[in-house]
Amino acid sequence: MSTYAIGDIQGCYAQLARMLERVAFDPSCDRLWLVGDLVNRGPDSLRVLRLLRELEGAADVVLGNHDLYLLMVAAGYKRRGSDDTLRQVLEAPDRDELLHWLARQPLLRLEGEHVLVHAGLLPGWTVAQAKALSDEVGAALAGPQARKFLLELAGNEPERWSDKLKGWDRLRVIVNACTRMRFCTADGRMALRAKGPPSQAPAGTLPWFRVPERLSRTHTVVCGHWSALGFHREPGLIALDSGCVWGGKLTALRIEDGAVFQVPG
């Protein structure tokens, strides 16, 4: 049995299929860990969703910002980007089944000494706290106010976590940290507009995983989201977004031995 963590797919079905062939993936005994951003900007989000739904039980998924954007658009969110490539999904005959499956995926999965999340964890969160907060978002996505939640989700405020936060603000901070964050201050204020490499950190910030004494350093975080960082490993971190949708590579890492596999975008 092997476990393969795979970076942001973003609708690049052909590259995902080649990766599964490359590693000789066997769903009867192997597992996939998908770090989110399954859809959007690439050409074939619909086939990606259908494949991963079929692999349920062998594929563990967490939600990325583009996956949540798809759910927002389906709920009636109108402010869409010019590079949105979600029409196939939204018009598919199995749209509702796929969206229901996607909305039931968590922001975070805890697998032994590994944490699977799309973007990162705020430095003041323990792994146990982050898991509990992910569960709050999951309950909102599955609850009677799911549509209202999705329509309230966009925005960068509040910029930092507080245990006193309630309602949509509380959920928005959790989602932004887990699916959008790259840089933050030592006390956890997120710089959500910054997208460059670590060398271009906004003044007073640093990559979230390099905040001294971050409480999640007890585990190895497996994430994606940051194509300008690229495939990167350091103690406590495996970052897998190597820009497949931008012509880079799709990266997979076998958890058991650290072997790396890549296919061109």
- For the chain, the maximum distance between any two Cα atoms, rounded to a whole number of angstroms, is 49
Instruction: Spell 135-169 as b/e; 16+ CB within 10 A means b.
Output: eebbebbeeeeeeebbebbeeeeeebbeeeeeebe
CA distances from 109 to 15, 118, 150, 220 (A): 24, 10, 21, 12
Q: What is the C-alpha to C-alpha distance for residues 18 and 22, in angstroms, rounded to an integer?
A: 6
**DSSP summary character for residue 76:** T
Closest CA to 10 of 45, 34, 35: 45
Considering the candidates 66, 100, 118, 225, report the single residue annotated as catalytic. Answer: 66
Q: What share of the chain is helix, strand, coil (3-state, %, to 5)?
A: 35, 20, 50
By CB atoms closer than 10 A (0-12, 13-18, 19+), residue 200 is: exposed
Is 225 among the catalytic positions?
no
If phi over 0 gives left and psi between -120 and 50 gives alpha, with beta otherwise, what is residue 138?
A: alpha
Q: What is the C-alpha to C-alpha distance for residues 247 and 255, in angstroms, rounded to an integer?
A: 25
Q: What is the C-alpha to C-alpha distance for residues 155 and 140, in angstroms, rounded to an integer?
A: 17
Closest CA to 84 of 92, 94, 93, 74: 74
The residues carrying an active-site annotation are: 66
